[in-house]
């Protein structure tokens, strides 16, 4: 087939389940959510990216095609939590006009794999309202493009969300499920709901910030980069690997890049400075069956004798990172203190980056230091980033509370 011609993507059924077929060949999604560092993704064995909207993505589509990557093109459907009322005069028409514009723009692009019809539209609204929007958009897409499947993307599956989409959205071909802490038993829960549609895990990674434990003052505990990698591997091998070629068509790890969401490191597979974390090494192994040639540092924890629940202003504390490098590379640690985020966002809404507080840091050795804490009381985090000088890094942080004298 001419590689510059429109792709044709189908879902074939067989005795054990489903196969995704792209241009006549079986296709398993080894994907990430994100739009940057595509060459690096290809080097690590990924084959697909996912976007959340289609505005301005033409250069991205072209770049993906040049690299041999496929794209699930997300078309954003507005959320009730953003004060959108689908039943207001003109709202439905305006949204569907936008859907039509993007489908016409990209339906013949050779990188197109499928349409992502909204993302977590039900959050902050009702499932009834979400289904109406998804239904209308998917029906329109089907009239404009018969060569690519449609996928509705949910925030987990709830008690009946997945089966409702299957039963009430006849123009949806694939269930997309964003699942973090619950990924390990997702397949069983889908079976319990009676879901028979093929599915894709459209976001997965560490425990979400809403799923982890909390410090007494409400700050969530974030996994170290190695704990995240272990968690990702465990969930992938429990739910995704055994169901590929059956009901699962593949998955998208979140996030290929980095962003501020509760912290600056919670979801990013890459650091802002570009280094890859251990989760990327794990993805490479899961996608290709091969070990990376040079691995990221392994980070177990941060340790200190100080009472992090009741520090004093300007108190000096000694803290160390328990870390090692699998390749024996020399490691260096960057220490920062950051004010705790007070943003209560939902569904990955944009958050401003929090700049570090200026504090005195005295390095004691490669993995430990003495920090003079801020003079103002309040909730903070101590961040530690270890780099191996080979383009890889590990992270850990711990919430702390400075109390009044």
pLDDT digits (tens, 9 = 90+) for 188-225: 999 999 999 999 999 999 999 999 999 999 999 999 99
Among 95-99, 121-125, 279-283, 286-290, the least confident range: 121-125
Angle between helices 225-235 and 278-288 (to 10 degrees): 20
d(CA 177, CA 201): 5
What number is the average pLDDT over the span 118-147?
A: 96
User: In CATH, what number does 9-288 get?
Assistant: 3.20.20.80
For residues 149 and 9, the answer to whether their CB atoms sit within 8 Å is yes
Q: What is the pLDDT of residue 345?
A: 63
pLDDT in tens, 49-73: 999 999 999 999 999 999 999 999 9
Instruction: State yes or no: pLDDT of 74 exceeds 80.
Output: yes
Q: What is the pLDDT of residue 347?
A: 60
pLDDT in tens, 285-298: 999 999 999 999 99
What percentage of the chain exceeds 90 in pLDDT?
90
What percentage of the chain exceeds 70 in pLDDT?
98
Tell me the pLDDT band of 232, cut-offs 50, 70 and 90: very high
What number is the average pLDDT over the span 87-112?
A: 95
Instruction: State yes or no: pLDDT of 46 exceeds 70.
Output: yes
pLDDT in tens, 315-362: 999 999 999 999 999 999 999 999 999 877 656 666 788 899 999 999
Instruction: State yes or no: pLDDT of 393 exceeds 80.
Output: yes
d(CA 51, CA 73): 6
Which of 102-111, 118-127, 353-362 holds the top average pLDDT?
102-111
pLDDT in tens, 3-25: 678 999 999 999 999 999 999 99
Residues counted in the chain: 405
Partners of residue 72 on adjacent β-strands: 50, 114
Fold of 298-402: Immunoglobulin-like (2.60.40)
What is the residue extent of each domain of the chain?
A: 9-288, 298-402
In this structure, the strands spanning 356-357 and 332-339 are antiparallel
pLDDT in tens, 236-261: 999 999 999 999 999 999 999 999 98
Rounded to the nearest integer, the mean pLDDT of the chain is: 95
Sheet containing strand 360-365, edge to edge, reads 298-304, 316-324, 368-372, 360-365
For residues 342 and 262, the answer to whether their CB atoms sit within 8 Å is no
Q: What is the pLDDT of residue 2?
A: 47
Q: What is the pLDDT of residue 59?
A: 98
**What pTM, to 2 d.p., does this model score?**
0.95
Q: What is the pLDDT of residue 1?
A: 39
What number is the average pLDDT over the span 138-147?
A: 98
What number is the average pLDDT over the span 372-401?
A: 98
């Amino acid at each position: 087939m001419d590689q510059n011609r429109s792709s044709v993507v189908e879902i074939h059924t067989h005795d054990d389940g489903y196969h995704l077929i792209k241009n006549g060949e079986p296709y398993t999604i080894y994907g990430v959510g994100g739009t940057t560092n595509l060459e690096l993704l290809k080097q690590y064995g990924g084959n697909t990216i996912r976007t959340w909207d289609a505005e301005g993505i033409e250069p991205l589509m072209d770049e993906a095609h040049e690299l041999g990557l496929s794209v699930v093109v997300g078309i954003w459907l507005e959320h009730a939590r953003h004060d959108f009322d689908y039943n207001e005069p003109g709202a439905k028409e305006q949204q569907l006009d936008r859907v039509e514009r993007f489908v016409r723009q990209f339906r013949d692009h050779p990188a197109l794999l499928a349409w992502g019809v909204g993302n977590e539209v039900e959050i902050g609204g009702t499932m009834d309202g979400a289904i109406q929007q998804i239904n209308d958009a998917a029906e329109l897409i089907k009239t404009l493009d018969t060569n690519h499947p449609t996928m509705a993307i949910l925030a987990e599956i709830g008690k009946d969300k997945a089966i409702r989409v299957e039963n009430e959205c006849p123009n949806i071909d694939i269930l997309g499920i964003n699942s973090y802490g619950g990924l390990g038993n997702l397949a069983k829960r889908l079976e319990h709901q009676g879901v028979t549609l093929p599915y894709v895990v459209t976001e997965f990674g560490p425990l979400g910030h809403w799923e982890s434990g909390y410090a007494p003052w409400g700050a969530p505990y974030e996994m170290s980069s190695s704990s995240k990698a272990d968690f990702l591997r465990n969930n992938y091998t429990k739910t995704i690997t055994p169901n590929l070629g059956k009901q699962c068509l593949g998955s998208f790890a979140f996030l290929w890049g980095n962003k501020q969401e509760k912290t600056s490191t919670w979801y990013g597979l890459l650091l802002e400075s570009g280094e890859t974390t251990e989760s990327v090494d794990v993805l490479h192994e899961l996608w290709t069956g091969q070990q990376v040639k040079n691995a990221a540092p392994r980070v177990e924890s941060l340790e200190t004798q100080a009472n992090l629940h009741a520090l004093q202003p300007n108190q000096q504390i000694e803290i160390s990172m328990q870390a090692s490098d699998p390749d024996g590379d020399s490691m260096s640690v960057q220490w920062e203190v950051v004010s705790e985020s007070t943003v209560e966002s939902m569904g990955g809404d944009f958050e401003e980056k929090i700049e570090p507080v200026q504090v005195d840091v005295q390095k004691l050795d490669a993995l430990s230091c003495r920090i003079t804490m801020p003079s103002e009381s309040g909730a903070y985090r101590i961040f530690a980033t270890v780099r191996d000088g080979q383009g890889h890094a590990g992270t850990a942080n711990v919430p702390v509370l400075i109390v009044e004298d």
